[in-house]
Amino acid sequence: MRFRDALAGPGLAAIAEIKRRSPSAGDLRPDADPARLAAELEAAGAAAVSVLVDERFAGSPADLAAARSASRLPLLAKGFFSERGELEELRSLGADAVLLLLRDLDDAQARELMGAAEGLGLDALVEAHDAEELERAVGLGAAVIGVNARDLSTFEIDRRAQLALVERAPRDRVVIAESAIASRAQGAEAELAGADAILVGSTLMRAADPAARLAELISRPLVKVCGLTREEDVAAAAEAGADLAGFILARETPRRAPGVLPVPETMLSVAVHVGEVTDDRADLVQLYPRENGHRARDGALLREGREVAKVVDRPWQETDPTHYDRARAAEGRVVLAGGLGPENVREAIESVRPWAVDASSSLELEPGVKDHVRVRAYVEAARGVGSTEPRKSGSAGSAGAGSGTEWS
């Protein structure tokens, strides 16, 4: 499979990067064995493997050959390339794609190298760091565009700027968010901004078990704890491993939050509204229509005002025997809410395979006050059936949504 095709499928793909050191961070994994790591990262769900072949990263072309000997995945050769001969060598060693840095190449050089890569059967990952470089990449006709959050001159990270560029990139290109991905939430944020894939290097190389860390980063579903009203409950949800923190700002619930509370970098904040958005300071917005003075059955998850997922819930204070069937039939990303808790979230995930699960009232001691033991049990149960496979419609199995009134 070609590099670009491996990244263009449904769901968020991951390029796992092998590098021994970084100019900004120093030694990461000096004893890294490219062959062993490539095989393990493939088994953990990587869509492709990136190999640093530059001596500044303690890499060499021999590392690429070693990775090729152990993995069938598409391999990306990363370095600072400016001549056709370099691409020819990399292709002979097993590369399927090469990195081209627009920071170091003018348009004529980039166009020449892109043509050389195409002639050799290589894909070119054309990397941009700012709006001007993104415009150049698009103008050059790059099919695969990388948006790096790290400024290679200062080594500073700017994820906000990266996400803005990812969102601006044309949807007919394969877009990769590079650098600064250290949690499921950060990967999901890039996905919702429009990234087809993330490239993860330092996070994996620092981990005791890089393959296990990769599997964790790309696992689905994401786990949302909603109805949070206190900072100590946010902290408990984060410690348990939840990815999304929900703050209900609608007037008709005893779980109404005082506002969108601060969340750690491992989580995204979600402001839950009914009828209209009155506070957009959260990372995401969960919006329900208003019907008969209360929220409607289903809602939408929004990023920057754009729908990025469907929220499949139950009617206000009612059960719904078609709940899972409707969720399975929905197209695109699905956030499954309504009646979920530690006792049934595993069954729900196995039946629906949603992008995220959402629980609130079942995790409480009283409205708006979370039971930290139940929060931990819910997250652990959801994680126990997390899958690296993208959600597909029409999964087998059916079940009820469980009992209890849910407001998410």
Q: DSSP assignment of 312-360, as one string? A: E---TT---TTHHHHHHH--S-EEEESS--TTTHHHHHHHH--SEEEE-
Contact 158, 149 (CB under 8 A): yes
Find the catalytic residue in 19, 224, 310, 370: 19
Token output for 23:
């100019």
Contact 127, 138 (CB under 8 A): no
3-state helix, strand, coil in the chain (%, to 5): 35, 25, 45
Tokens 């691409």 locate to: 87
Residue among 364, 313, 304 nearest 335 (CA): 313
Tokens 């993995």 locate to: 71
Q: Give the alpha-carbon dihedral of 386, 191, 212, 355, to 10 degrees.
A: 0
Find the catalytic residue in 17, 189, 364, 406: 17
- Strands 294-295, 290-291: pairing kind: antiparallel
CA distance 324 to 163: 33
Find the catalytic residue in 127, 133, 347, 364: 127
Give the distance from CA 162 to its chain's centroid: 14
Q: What is the three-class DSSP state of 161?
A: helix
Q: For 101, phi and psi rounded to 5 degrees?
A: -95, 115
CA distance 353 to 356: 9
Is 310 an annotated catalytic residue?
Answer: no
Find the catalytic residue in 133, 178, 347, 406: 178
CA distance 324 to 131: 43
Find the catalytic residue in 40, 78, 364, 408: 78
* DSSP label of 296: -
Is 178 an annotated catalytic residue?
Answer: yes
Residue among 338, 402, 342, 334 nearest 370 (CA): 342
Is 71 an annotated catalytic residue?
Answer: no
Find the catalytic residue in 148, 183, 360, 362: 148
CA dihedral over 230, 233, 239, 244, signed as positive or negative: negative
Element (H, E) at 107: helix 107-119
Contact 300, 270 (CB under 8 A): no
Find the catalytic residue in 22, 50, 71, 179: 179
List residues with catalytic annotation: 17, 19, 78, 127, 148, 178-179
